[in-house]
Homo-oligomer: A and B are copies of this chain.
């Protein structure tokens, strides 16, 4: 008798729930819940409070509604008995965090705090804590904090402590009222189980925690802000649960709301990109998984800790227990092409797309696919949204070189795709030079499915076969796999995520092989890319930053 698990992938605009057959990983049923309050970036719901620029909040009630609406739907669609569903796993955007009371009540649910924006969930893309991130980075550099190197030398404004410090800076009364500061991922598991846990993935990648060294020291926090000295002890936890561990059993209340059995095993939470790694069949060192969407996350496992320049982070047990999980990223991939399509493509192409009944991306891809590598004479630096790895510099900007009066839109489009491929190659080579092997490459996410030209270009530029994950829901599948591990083999699940991956994760049969003639041309173009990358990115000519400063001066 087959057993099943549920995976819930909490995204930026919606949550997707899948019910998965543990015997083969197939998706039996799926449902999507679009958050009622979505991304809150203008007005606080139900109040006249206007948000500042760069703010992005969410309503935690949306997460609960996502569970209580989608789980009954997949159960009904599958026609399974709740007894056959043995585990639940969830993954989340991160760092997406909120302040709560000791019993888990979000501060934004308390009437007298509801009109304070700091009482709400700060979404991963809340970017208003940049001043706090700068202070943390400056102080860490000054104090030569040992953890800084594990994060490529710089932490992001999106992470946990900048967000926490922003609350303390701007709303000390909220900071005081918060018994807990917690990742939404862990908070949601708390709601499901009644047990507060903290997972090693968000702790490691977003809250500067490591298995061997713990969190930054109270002295460090005190130097940042006296009230912050004991933030970990007071409002967080030193106890960090490994991925795949059973956080607890589903509460009676949640069982009633979802139709599942009370006590169903719930795994500790995970992060959307990281949970996709075992769903992409990868549980051992040597294979990079690239989750390619609006941006790209690059994940690879290693048996040892290496310091890789400009990586986002290395976390022991951060992806797969027993291994070091390395993460790097490109901050602008699908976003790049979307910007181009929206801003730079003439009406003639739009009419062609309409006539052919396709979207503009498809029209451009079809035209760009007619071009040979190097034929356009164009080269771009893919920094329209800064550079996340390996330069870790949000102030870098996009560059296009080689334009002539004969340059066509599809040539620029192709050059942008190529630029993101060169950017990936820089990341791969940086890992390899730092002693982290990258022998294979697996692509996941929405882009590989939608754009075959892009995949071929990546194969040609990287000079490697590119494999593609079979499912487009690698996040939700990975969560279900972790749910199965939380349940354990004795209950019909798995004891180890490696075992779950062997059975449940699959790659497509079709792979993308490099074409030697293309590779030869792209090797030359990549050399040019690297020269420009270093010239503009490593301080020889900081024109991009000076242009940004001039821009800021004019706008202020």
Contacts and interface: CB of A to CB of B under 8 A. Distances in A.
A378 B351 CA distance: 29
A524 B379 CA distance: 26
Contact of A399 (B376, B403, B553): B403
Of A347, A376, A541, most B-chain CB atoms within 10 Å: A347
Nearest to A535: B541
Nearest to A338: B405
B339 A401 contact: no
A544 B401 contact: yes
Nearest to A524: B550
A395 to B, nearest CB: 10
Contacts of A397: 377, 401-404
Chain A interface residue bracket vs B? 35 or more
Interface string A520-556: 0100110010011001100001011011101101110
Contacts of A350: 346-347
Contacts of A405: 332, 335-336, 339, 384-385
A77 interface: no
A543 B553 contact: no
A548 to B, nearest CB: 6
B399 A384 contact: no
B554 A402 contact: no
Given A344-B409, A404-B384, A375 B547 contact: no
A401 B403 CA distance: 12
B402 A400 contact: no
A531 B554 contact: no
Nearest to A550: B374
Nearest to A406: B339
Nearest to A400: B400
Interface in A293-345: 332, 335-336, 339, 342-345
A521 B550 contact: yes
Contacts of A227: none
A408 interface: yes
A95 to B, nearest CB: 21
A126 to B, nearest CB: 17
Nearest to A397: B402
A24 interface: no
Of A339, A378, A403, A536, most B-chain CB atoms within 10 Å: A403
A155 B346 CA distance: 37
A376 B398 CA distance: 12
A344 B553 CA distance: 28
Nearest to A339: B405
B521 A379 contact: no
A376 B551 CA distance: 6
A444 to B, nearest CB: 23
A78 interface: no
A343 B550 CA distance: 29
B402 A547 contact: yes
Of A335, A375, A531, A550, most B-chain CB atoms within 10 Å: A550
Nearest to A386: B404
A496 B189 CA distance: 94
A478 interface: no
Contact of A375 (B332, B336, B555): B555
Nearest to A373: B554
B345 A554 contact: no
Interface string A346-373: 1100110000000000000000000011
Contact of A525 (B351, B400, B550): B550
A407 interface: yes
A409 B403 CA distance: 16
Given A521-B554, A550-B524, A409 B343 contact: yes
Given A347-B346, A404-B385, A377 B550 contact: yes
B403 A384 contact: yes
A532 B536 CA distance: 11
Contacts of A541: 531-532, 535
Given A374-B553, A553-B374, A554-B375, A543 B401 contact: yes
Contacts of A536: 401
Interface in A231-247: none
A409 B345 CA distance: 10
Interface of A: 332, 335-336, 339, 342-347, 350-351, 372-379, 384-385, 397-405, 407-409, 521, 524-525, 528, 531-532, 535-536, 541, 543-544, 546-548, 550-551, 553-555
Given A385-B404, A402-B547, 10 more contacts: A344-B344, A344-B345, A344-B346, A346-B346, A374-B547, A384-B404, A397-B404, A398-B402, A524-B550, A528-B547
Closest 5 CB pairs of A and B: A347-B347, A398-B403, A377-B551, A374-B550, A374-B554
15 contacts: A339-B405, A343-B407, A344-B344, A345-B346, A376-B551, A377-B397, A378-B547, A399-B403, A400-B400, A400-B403, A401-B543, A402-B547, A521-B550, A524-B550, A531-B543
